[in-house]
Amino acid sequence: TGAASSATAVDFSLSGRWLFTGYEDGHWYAWDTVQQQGPREERQASLCVSAHKQRLTGLAVNRQGEALASASWDGTAKVWA
């Protein structure tokens, strides 16, 4: 769950329930901050997306909370809605 590479970008959903983390390997993960209780090593991401071919450099939730944007060293930016 992202442990093989370093986190390079983070953002929270507007409600604060979801934590989005982007990694060097081009993946981003969604973590449910309400459901994730217990020891860190037992926690699992709710969603893993293979988003880019290179390091993820930015993540941002839009002001309405309806979409997540990701950017990467591969020269692309994507919107996830």
Please provide the DSSP assignment of the chain as one string. --TTS-EEEEEE-TTS-EEEEEETTSEEEEEETTT--S-GGG---SEEEE--SS-EEEEEE-TTSS-EEEEETTS-EEEE-
What pLDDT score was predicted for residue 51?
Answer: 87
The answer to whether residues 48 and 29 touch, using CB atoms and an 8 Å cutoff, is: yes
Question: Cα-flanking dihedrals φ and ψ of residue 51, to 5°?
Answer: -90, -40
Residue 6: pLDDT over 50: yes
What pLDDT score was predicted for residue 5?
Answer: 76
The answer to whether residues 45 and 27 touch, using CB atoms and an 8 Å cutoff, is: no
For 24-67, the pLDDT digits (tens) are: 999 999 999 888 665 555 667 888 888 899 999 999 999 999 99
Residue 2: pLDDT over 80: no
